[in-house]
Chains A and B, each alone.
Chain A
Amino acid sequence: MTIAVIARNTFKEAVRDRVLYLLLFFAALAIVLSRVLALLTVGDRAKVVKDVGLASISLFGALMAILIGTGLVYKEIDKRTIFTLISKPIRRSEFLLGKYFGLLLTLAVMTAAMSAIFLVLVFAHTLAWEFRLLIPILFIFLELGLLTAVAILFSSFSTPILSSLYALSFFLIGHFSWSLETLIQKTPPGWGRTALRAVYAVLPDLENFNLKTEFVHGLTVPSSFYVYAPLYALVYTGFVLALAVLVFRRRDFI
């Protein structure tokens, strides 16, 4: 109940943030510009529209999660609005989770808006409503859920600028950590390979939520992926949120 109240208020706060609309505008622009790129392409133009469109949703969704998420908790502490909130009978964990779900709700609305623009543009090319493209978008949303948790974690103890840098690093590392697998294979067995495996296990693998290529090019996706990836998102997000609650629950608000 309390989490829902705080989440609704966070949603109100986020939708009144101009940064959100600026990002939505650029996201829409990027999606529409994919049409220009398609015109310059030889071959299947619809594939370019789909590829660039999905990439735009992923990138701008991530920017929204990071830029708004990293300021959410910090602003409450900096502007001291948290003083009156914590004086009410609410737990700090409820406050933090309320913030998380509030931003997640905002991202859901923004992703829906970007998806609508994207689907209309695809329709203009193929003259067919390709609702199956909502599946990779759903996986992008899982990634945004994890990124939001990471942004909130950093926001609970650091400034927005530093938090944005940390969260952006998490995003980039998450999308390139798969290359460690190649390195592991090329490393001779021994402590070096074991250490690399340990690092690979700890680092996020956000490529787990990347179904863009498969859906754009009509490749088959193993059915186990539909179970494994959401489970991975759930466990990783849960872990990050638990860590954020742990950091936040003993923090002094000076």
Chain B
Amino acid sequence: MADILELRDVRKAFRQGFLLRSREVLKGISFSVGEGEIFGYLGPNGAGKTSTIKCVLGLLFPDGGTIRIGGRPHLETRAKAGLGFLPENPYFYDYLTAAEFLDFYAQLFGLPKSERRERAARLLGLVGMEKAAGLQLRKFSRGMLQRIGLAQALVNDPSFLILDEPLGGLDPLGRKEIRDIILTLKEDGKTVLFTSHILQDIEMICDRVAILIGGRIHRQGRLADLVSENILFTELTVSGIDPAEVAGLGRSLSAQGGRILLKVFDDVGLESVLDLVRERKGTIHALIPRVQTLEDIFVEAVKNP
């Protein structure tokens, strides 16, 4: 699998304050995105996600390191020909209508008028905005802007998409729709790099992830490799036994209405609780084994960078 994006030891510092003190926001970022994969770039606020993306797009000039898009230096205009970008909190020309807006971006790629019209109609359909074609962007809600922003990113039929927080500001239904669109894009052979705070979304659709903390890549790799399949603990909801009897077998979280919610950390403890319930002719209402999630890794990484 060829790399469509490659960053090697990218560094960036900003000078700020009256004394122009240097603050390093990217401290040697290296990662690559392979063709056809969905790559999740996650990190807490201020970790440097957007700065990395701005460096890739040529909005910021890195102080050091190299960035290549499709094998070309990232500042070459040809490197951006097959690229689509959706910014975080989309900011667009609000005096244009949705149709004019897409037409403007399509013109930048030199597409003929008939193709521009056809493509704008198709993309408006894809993001569910056909009825808003004649509406000025200043009248759009945040969710609508996010959708039209995605349509804009697809206007040149790019092979590589960079989506900065594409699911931000969307309701659960909108998030699902955008997630589905991203998966459809992957099926069409497109490569997607996206950042998100919503770890559940990343977990659901990403092939690989990189966790950025304090301007450094903390961990990266395939989700399956990062997330252990070992059971961390089991959550049990039982009734018909005395809470005092299970006190030593796990951590009791609550005991209300005769039901005990219990967290058990090993197989021996779990077997003992089950035996006790059977002995006392009690009931097991729920038994949920909890494996490690991306959120666990993320929280641990943020706490112990």
Q: Indicate whether A252 sits within 8 Å of B61 (C-beta atoms), given known contacts A84-B152, A87-B83, A87-B85.
A: yes
B91 lies within 8 A of A89 (CB): no
Please encode chain B, from 74 to 86, with 1 for each CB lying within 8 Å of some chain A CB and 0 for all others. 0001111101010
Bound form: Cα–Cα A65–B268 in Å: 80
Report chain B residues within 8 Å CB of A81. Answer: 91-93
The segment out of B1-9, B106-114, B191-199, B286-294 that lies at the interface is B106-114
B87 lies within 8 A of A84 (CB): yes
Q: Indicate whether A252 sits within 8 Å of B59 (C-beta atoms), given known contacts A13-B95, A89-B77.
A: yes
Bound form: Cα–Cα A221–B269 in Å: 105
Report chain B residues within 8 Å CB of A88. Answer: 80, 105, 108-109, 156
A86 lies within 8 A of B59 (CB): yes
A12 lies within 8 A of B110 (CB): no
Interface residues on B, range: 20 to 34
The segment out of A1-9, A172-180, A203-211 that lies at the interface is A1-9
Residue A250 lies at the interface, judged by CB distance under 8 Å to chain B: yes
Bound form: Cα–Cα A3–B108 in Å: 9
Report chain B residues within 8 Å CB of A217. Answer: none
Residues of A215-254 whose CB lies within 8 A of B: 250, 252-254
Q: Indicate whether A2 sits within 8 Å of B108 (C-beta atoms), given known contacts A253-B54, A253-B60.
A: yes
Please encode chain B, from 207 to 224, with 1 for each CB lying within 8 Å of some chain A CB and 0 for all others. 000000000000000000
Residues of A148-165 whose CB lies within 8 A of B: none
Candidates A9, A86, A254; contact of B93 at CB < 8 Å: A9
Instruction: Give the Cβ gap from A120 to chain B, nearest Cβ, in Å.
Output: 31
Report chain A residues within 8 Å CB of B110. Answer: 1
Residues of A1-33 whose CB lies within 8 A of B: 1-2, 5-6, 9, 12-13, 16
Residue B226 lies at the interface, judged by CB distance under 8 Å to chain A: no
A83 lies within 8 A of B108 (CB): no
Candidates A12, A79, A82, A254; contact of B60 at CB < 8 Å: A254
Report chain A residues within 8 Å CB of B61. Answer: 250, 252
Report chain A residues within 8 Å CB of B162. Answer: 87
A90 lies within 8 A of B152 (CB): no
Instruction: Give the Cβ gap from B123 to chain A, nearest Cβ, in Å.
Output: 15
Residue B58 lies at the interface, judged by CB distance under 8 Å to chain A: yes
Residue B96 lies at the interface, judged by CB distance under 8 Å to chain A: yes
Please encode chain B, from 153 to 182, with 1 for each CB lying within 8 Å of some chain A CB and 0 for all others. 000100000100000000000000000000
A86 lies within 8 A of B108 (CB): no
Bound form: Cα–Cα A85–B14 in Å: 23
Q: Indicate whether A83 sits within 8 Å of B91 (C-beta atoms), given known contacts A2-B108, A5-B108, A89-B78.
A: yes
Instruction: Give the Cβ gap from A92 to chain B, nearest Cβ, in Å.
Output: 8
Report chain A residues within 8 Å CB of B91. Answer: 79-81, 83-84
Residues of A136-155 whose CB lies within 8 A of B: none
Bound form: Cα–Cα A2–B96 in Å: 18
A83 lies within 8 A of B93 (CB): no
Report chain B residues within 8 Å CB of A79. Answer: 91
Bound form: Cα–Cα A42–B257 in Å: 104
Instruction: Give the Cβ gap from B226 to chain A, nearest Cβ, in Å.
Output: 29
A12 lies within 8 A of B95 (CB): yes
Candidates B60, B95, B156; contact of A252 at CB < 8 Å: B60
A-B contact pairs, 29 of them (CB 8 A): A2-B108, A12-B95, A12-B100, A13-B95, A81-B91, A81-B92, A83-B57, A83-B85, A83-B87, A84-B85, A84-B90, A84-B92, A84-B105, A84-B152, A85-B108, A86-B58, A87-B57, A87-B80, A87-B85, A87-B162, A88-B156, A89-B81, A89-B108, A89-B109, A90-B77, A90-B108, A252-B14, A253-B54, A253-B60
Interface residues of B (CB under 8 A from A): 14, 54, 57-61, 77-81, 83, 85, 87, 89-93, 95-96, 100, 104-105, 107-110, 149, 152, 156, 162
Given A5-B104, A84-B92, A253-B60, 14 other A-B residues pairs in contact with their CB atoms under 8 A? A9-B96, A9-B104, A12-B95, A16-B95, A83-B85, A84-B87, A84-B152, A87-B80, A87-B83, A87-B85, A88-B156, A89-B108, A252-B14, A252-B61
